[in-house]
Structure 1
Amino acid sequence: MTHSVRSIAHPADSTATRALRKVAIVAAFAAITMPGAADAKMVLRPGVFDGTWNVIFATQAGNCSSTNSVPFTVTGTRVSSAGGGKVTGGISRAGVVSVSIQVGASHASGSGRLVGNSGSGRWKGIITGDRCSGTWQATRT
């Protein structure tokens, strides 16, 4: 036995449901037809941590070189490479940062916090086949 939705629903419910559907359709249409408007708002509002950051990685465990330096770019809530490998990650308004780095077969991930023009945190990864970990220090250039 098959019931249709109309035979079970109350008239007041179907009116409210239709109204909600209309709102959802209008919102979806606006998001699809005007994606640039949302992107423009994000671009126009710079993040407090925007800029190029020099990050120095110090190895504390593993057979990796003792220090390495990698530049990052922060734009809004995104962290990316400023040269030297593939860098992806994000940063919150409070400065909590999380990144992944890949250079050839080597890869690492790290997290920490930026405050003002400096920051620090921890990292771990596999560098040239060796499992390593340590700390990082960052300064905005």
Structure 2
Amino acid sequence: MFVSPMLLQRMEEPFNHDDFISELKLDEIRLIYSHMDSVKLYTRHKNEVTKKFPELMDLGIPKGKVLDGELILTDQNGHPDFEAIMSRFQITNQDKIQRSSHRCPVHFCAFDILYHEGESVIYLPLSERKKTSWVPWLARMVVYQRFVG
């Protein structure tokens, strides 16, 4: 099930306000991780890319969850590597995808939960959606830290 993600908004000047949070932007590939009937992966443009990332099929995320986040690949120093993730994203041959998924697996960094237990939670404030009790299954997934104000 695809759910449109919230997109960044451009601000002309920096600001600090308790009604807003700031999060790290990894500048990688935006991904909607949907586990309703089965696991499906979508780009923010509604392209299904499930077969491109077999290493994300069994993260232990329970059915009924739809998460918004980013796919990353890291370099030897643990820093996100945009060129590497784009190269990986462009592979179409299933044999090469399987080899790449073992040699250089991607990581999913979740920063929002859109569905919980099969129900939309988009109407809730972002701070409520980020409750850690909703995301205890941290297999190959990283949960973003957030900063208030």
Query: What TM-score does the superposition give when structure 1 sets the normalisation length?
Result: 0.29
Query: What TM-score does the superposition give when structure 2 sets the normalisation length?
Result: 0.28
Relative contact order: is structure 1 or structure 2 higher (C-alpha 8 Å, sep ≥ 6)? 2
Relative to total residues, which structure has the larger strand share, 1 or 2?
A: 1
